[in-house]
Amino acid sequence: MTQQVALITGGAKGIGRGIALDLAARQWKVAICYRTSETDAQKTFQEIGNHGGQGLTIRCDVSDPAASKALVSQVENEWGRIDVLINGAGPYHRVNLFDETIDGWNEMFDGNLHPIFYLAQAVAPGMKARKAGHIINFSMANADQMEAQPDVTAHYIAKAGVLILTRTLAKLLAPYGITVNAVSPGFIDSGSAPPQELAAMTKRIPAGYIGAVDDTVAAVRFLLSEEARYVNGANIQISGAWGI
């Protein structure tokens, strides 16, 4: 049986790292893409091997369409295929809309939304030829609510756009046996936020606690399983009922 291949953007740490190690434990080949986190990427690469998988680390700025296309080509040239694309990369900053800069505004779309388009276009031909594949995009738990967001406006709009793009890709690729779904975390202890900040958010979460990386990994594992073969265009919220 051909060994499965996954490409994970933002795979050096946090949720992306958790997904990479989960796949490695099932002897997948896992390529992780990073932009600045080289030390974390090397640690994750070593852990992939320790978990029984085969790893590949690639520095790439996926906000660059040419670089995204080259990233896919590099993985396909190395391993012959990409069975799963996990779009986990995405910058975030908090600033009032009227204090936002043009560069800051564009960064949220260039980092969170546009790479999904670039990478999906690049991986689709191979997946269509094999009539199999999975794409999982990361949004955020309340992105489908279309709420006013004065301090994270561009980021929120980009994440709402991820859901529309996910559904569009699902409709276009379903005839080829490919599933495209979104995972939308709420407050997850992934190492990206200070513990005190997460603790302060607990009272806003109906479940009463902060989620773990493993909660998100479990959702991804399901979406990649045969049990989820008819799940396409869905958005799974991992939030303890926050943001709904």
pLDDT tens, position by position, 30-89: 999 999 888 999 999 999 999 999 999 999 999 999 999 999 999 999 999 999 999 999
**pTM attached to this predicted model:** 0.96
Q: What is the mean pLDDT of residues 178-207?
A: 91
Answer whether residue 215 is part of any domain. Answer: yes
Answer whether residue 244 is part of any domain. Answer: no
Q: What is the DSSP string of 81-122?
A: ---EEEE---------GGG--HHHHHHHHHHHTHHHHHHHHH
Confidence of residue 182 (pLDDT cuts 50, 70, 90): very high
Known catalytic residues are 156
Question: Is the separation of the CB atoms in 61 and 9 below 8 Å?
Answer: no
Instruction: Tell me the C-alpha distance between 147 and 114, whole Å.
Output: 22
6-21 pLDDT, tens digit each? 999 999 999 999 999 9
- Give the domain extent around 85: 5-238
Answer whether residue 161 is part of any domain. Answer: yes
Answer whether residue 227 is part of any domain. Answer: yes
- pLDDT, residue 129, reads 98
Which residues does residue 212 pair with via DSSP β-bridges, in sequence order? 189
- pLDDT, residue 1, reads 53
Answer whether residue 243 is part of any domain. Answer: no
CA-wise closest residue to 123 among 59, 79, 167, 155: 79
- pLDDT, residue 195, reads 80
Answer whether residue 64 is part of any domain. Answer: yes
The CATH number of the domain holding residue 45 is 3.40.50.720
Which residues does residue 58 pair with via DSSP β-bridges, in sequence order? 33
Give the number of domains in the chain. 1
Of 38 and 28, more confident = 28
Q: What is the mean pLDDT of residues 188-214?
A: 90
Answer whether residue 102 is part of any domain. Answer: yes
Answer whether residue 123 is part of any domain. Answer: yes
- pLDDT, residue 149, reads 96
Name the phi and psi angles at 141, rounded to 5: -60, -30
- pLDDT, residue 49, reads 95
